[in-house]
Amino acid sequence: MAQGRISGCTAPRASRARRAALAIALFAAAGAAHAAPAYVDIPATSFLSVIETGPDAKPQRIAAFALRVEPVTNAQFLAFVNAHPQWQRGRAPSLFADAGYLSHWQSADALGGTALPGQPVTRVSWFAAQAYCESEHARLPSWLEWERAAAASDTVADARGDAAWRRQLLDWYAKPSTGALAGVGGTPNLYGVRDLHGLVWEWVEDYAALMVTADSRDQNDPDRLKFCGAAALSLRDRENYALLMRIAMLSSLKAADTTANLGFRCARSLPTTVTP
């Protein structure tokens, strides 16, 4: 079922096959036992974000891109830090990762019993997430890319107007996050992307630009000159609490912060195609 949806993407199959072949070749060369992480193409579209900077905001053009099907797991991040020891817990400079970085792992190079291989990796900073994505020849998605992919239900590209779907998201956000995280591999959405909702918060490349106020971390200082330009974003679509919560959470972070429920997935730009 998911396969059928993925093949419904607009990108030509040949190019995807070529990329897959290349990825397989790379992994075979590296002698890796497991398959390369899957990415799916998300077609170009015009999209109106819940964040807007003016009263007459127009939909923005989002180019086609590839998005990682699943968030990065503990096992995958472990392989990364083993290959790049400068990102091990205890070795990453405090500039790039706070004291909580990977603190739920048993040690710098072992998951132990409390962090399962198939769980999404959490307690990672924005810098660490970026470094990981670079190792997959990828980058973090922009907020707009993430929001656009996450707007899809399993049947429609933009389910944001669907009250039942929104209710489903809210149920997750309302659930206390005290239990153990589930493994990755939830139900795929229209594009075949899994776990965009219901598992973890996710870093985005431009998380720091999701400014709701001049500086949401310093609300006691209403010094207007501190901020230049259209910082005071108005939030459209107040029905969409689930996304607003995510935006509020991301805006409150600093790049070295790590939290128990914050993971990430990567994205890749696609070669630009000429559109009429």
Partner 1 sequence: MNTICRHMTESEHESLPCLCCGHLATRCERTHGPDTEAVRRPVARWLATALGALLLALGLAFACARADEPLPGDSVYQLELPLVDQDGTAFDFGAGRGRPRLVSMFYSSCKYVCPMIVDTLKKTEHALDPARRAGVDVLLVSLDPDTDTPAALKQLAAQRHIDLPRWRLANTDATHVRRLAAVLGIQYKQLGKAEFSHSTVLVLLDAQGRIVARSEKLGEADPAFVAAVERQLAGG
Range in contact with partner 1 (rule: CB under 8 A) among 10-18, 72-80, 185-193, 229-237: 229-237
CA-based nearest residue to 116, from 77, 149, 155, 146 = 77
Residue 10 or 86: which CB sits closer to partner 1? 86
Q: Considering beta carbons, is residue 35 or 95 the nearer one to partner 1?
A: 95
Instruction: Please tell me the count of residues contacting partner 1 according to CB under 8 A.
Output: 29
CA triplet 192, 208, 243: central angle to 5 degrees? 45
Please list every residue from 96 through 115 that binds partner 1, using CB under 8 A. 96
Contacts of 124 (CB under 8 A, 6+ apart): 77, 97, 101, 102, 132, 203, 258, 262, 263, 264
147 lies in the site for partner 1, by CB under 8 A: no
**Nearer CB in complex with partner 1: 7/269:** 269
Give the distance from CA 206 to its chain's centroid: 11
Residue 87 engages partner 1 in binding (rule: CB under 8 A): no
Q: Is residue 61 a contact residue for partner 1 (CB under 8 A)?
A: no
* Residue in 202, 205, 258, 270 binding partner 1, rule: CB under 8 A: 205
Q: Say how far apart CA 87 and CA 112 lie, in whole Å.
A: 18
Paired tokens of 190: 């229209």
Residue 211 as a binder of partner 1 (CB under 8 A): the answer is yes
Instruction: Extract the tokens encoding 156.
Output: 């429609």
> Which chain residues interact with partner 1 by CB under 8 A?
53-54, 93-96, 126-127, 130, 139, 205-206, 208-209, 211, 214-215, 223-232, 254-255
